[in-house]
Amino acid sequence: MFSLEGITDLIQNWLYQQMSPGWALLVQFVLIGILVIGLFSILGLVLIMMERRVSAWMQLRLGPNRVGPGGMFQTVADTLKLIVKEGMTPSGADKFLFNLAPFIVMMVSMVVLAPLMFAKGFQIWDVNIGVFFITAVSSVSVIGILMAGWASNNKYSLLGAMRSGAQIVSYELSAGLAILTIVILSGSLQISEIIAAQQTGWWIFKGHIPVLISFVIFIVAVTAETNRAPFDLAEAESELTAGFHTEYSGMKFALFFLAEYVNIFVVCAVGATLFLGGWMPFHIGNWHAFNQIMDYIPSSLWFFGKTFFLIFLIMWFRWTFPRLRIDQLLNLEWKYLLPISMLNLLLVTVMALLGWHF
């Protein structure tokens, strides 16, 4: 199978031959930082363009078609507008926290990328608690959101931040329980081992109906965690203007906007890794000939194909379902998703102990 592992090993060996271990490690950190920032920029442009195209397709209209061939440079033009636009800070705001909040949200999104495997042998950090690391670090983003709402000295921003905090904390429970089902079946928290456990088939197929239920709960929960419609109560334009980032403009608003789309990519990448095998090709048991044909497709294409399929699914939700009320949103979590998740986790545990999976 095509792998990026050889490229990373080649760069690492060359650096350690040319300089001391300390400097080589520092250069690796710098290169990784540059690659992550570049990935963020590209993801922002691609996902915003994808959002507009999907929404246009859902509404039977053209979408962006003026700037560049087929409207491809529309997001570039929007980015340039945000870069040159003046960043305003309200006079009554806590200036330090107001300016710090978007960077916290952005940094959390960058750190969460570390354990993800983008292709075979292409991973920033293969930590043995990768799933726990992702869930723990991603929960810190709510601090940046609450900080932005409080520091803005605006009642709409504060209400949006409080809604977002309640929403994220609530739906993290169901998302975490859905993730635990895969951890139990795989017997590991390490991302590479979870992917390796799916060599003979992805968990969404091997785990029967309980894993399918976990997958549906996970998609619903992460849609709510990323403040996407129909769970976008934190940014309900008809009620709260723009929610917690009402007072933000220029690049600080762009950081919030970019972090939202990167978070969509991250949660979909986690879903693709846990339930759909990550970079692992589609294998069926002992069908060696079929499996070998699937192995010819590069592992990076498998990973990004699955991830963008889930992104399309979440965008589909936005342009299909109406926005929920805040009481409906919380009732859905506490009265339905959480009890179902707990019972499903118990069922998966029994299934794993008795070996009732492929």
H/E element holding 7? helix 5-18
> Do residues 299 and 279 lie in contact, with contact meaning Cβ atoms separated by under 8 Å?
yes
Per DSSP, what are the bridge partners of residue 123? 117
> Do residues 139 and 292 lie in contact, with contact meaning Cβ atoms separated by under 8 Å?
no
pLDDT of the residue at 336: 93
**Domain extents for the chain?**
88-354
pLDDT of the residue at 358: 60
CA angle 141, 226, 317 (to 5 degrees): 180
pLDDT of the residue at 3: 58
Taking 70 as the pLDDT cut, the residues of the chain under it are 1-6, 236-240, 357-358
* C-alpha span between 129 and 48 (Å, rounded): 32
> Do residues 327 and 33 lie in contact, with contact meaning Cβ atoms separated by under 8 Å?
no
- 277 Ramachandran zone, left/alpha/beta (phi>0; psi -120 to 50): left
As a whole-number percent, the residues of the chain with pLDDT over 90 amount to 29
The end-to-end CA distance of the chain, in Å, is 24
pLDDT of the residue at 92: 82
pLDDT of the residue at 141: 87
pLDDT of the residue at 10: 80
